[in-house]
Amino acid sequence: MTEQLRLMAVHAHPDDESSKGAATMAKYVSEGVDVLVVTCTGGERGSILNPKLQGDPYIEEHIHEVRKKEMDEAREILGVRQEWLGFVDSGLPEGDPLPPLPEGCFALQDVDEAAGALVRAIRSFRPQVITTYDENGGYPHPDHIQTHKISMVAFDAAADTVKYPEAEFGAPYQPQKLYYNQGFNRARTEALHQAMLDRGLESPYADWLKRWEKMGIPERTLTTHVSCGDFYEIRDKALIAHATQIDPDGAWFRVPLEIQREAWPTEEYELAKALVDTSLPEHDLFAGIRDNA
């Protein structure tokens, strides 16, 4: 039955798929689920965040090609398929006041028009389940917020042949469930923080929790907890494949895997849309779907 199950993960940039829900995807791949990552932009305006690679003139000049190769490697590690929507990275505006977004970038595209590219991908792949970002983008990067917007439109519009005619966008199809990635939640962060302290180790999350408290960020509703601790190593390998974005000696990897598996062996999601009956909390993105697959 699992050969009929299909999961689509919609992300803004290459590397997002490896930092948000990667262990979940690897778990489902191991069970025979067909998993497709849809990447909205090429990450062309992303900064080189790995200090070991900063200042490399080849990478700076060919960042688009480099990030594409990184995505290819991460895709192989995770065992997923991957498709580019072809939009141009908007960059992360910084300063006060914030500068305008660059002309032609993803975040400035008309939402309905941009959603058409995702509608085409949905109709082609025909996923029962889609994961994406919440209305805040997970964090307020303009490309993450735009990814949320086109995902919400495309989820409903994939079955709408009036707005998105079959001749141009493919045969109509209606996904059954849509989730927001909520892996960076406070409960998880506090659990890992305390697990490190209990073992006499320095926690990388102390400053995170202070900022969380200071900013007063409201808690999201965690509806779905997918047990995937056995796939954390694959997740980390995929993340490290994005060498321009990830320092292998950085904070991402300071909590040993055995502690992570013991203290928090799940990845979390927020169920945003469901056209099938399901009971909360869930432990499977395909809850309510498997029996009808």
Binding residues for Zn(2+), as ranges, are: 13, 16, 144
DSSP letters for 59-94? HHHTHHHHHHHHHHHHHHHHT-EEEEEEEPP-----
Q: Say how many Å lie between the first and final Cα of the chain, rounded.
A: 6
Binding residues: 13, 16, 144
Q: Reduced to 3 states, what is the DSSP secondary structure of residue 42? A: coil
CA distances from 216 to 187, 213, 272 (A): 15, 5, 23
β-pairing, 224-227 vs 6-11, is unpaired
Q: Reduced to 3 states, what is the DSSP secondary structure of residue 179? A: strand
Residue where the block lists tokens 């090609």: 65
CA distances from 97 to 104, 128, 143, 209, 269 (A): 21, 42, 19, 27, 34
**Chain centre distance of CA 7:** 12
CA distances from 144 to 80, 140, 175 (A): 21, 7, 21
CA distances from 248 to 43, 159, 203, 230, 251 (A): 20, 43, 17, 20, 9
Helix, strand, coil proportions of the chain in percent (round to 5)? Answer: 40, 15, 45
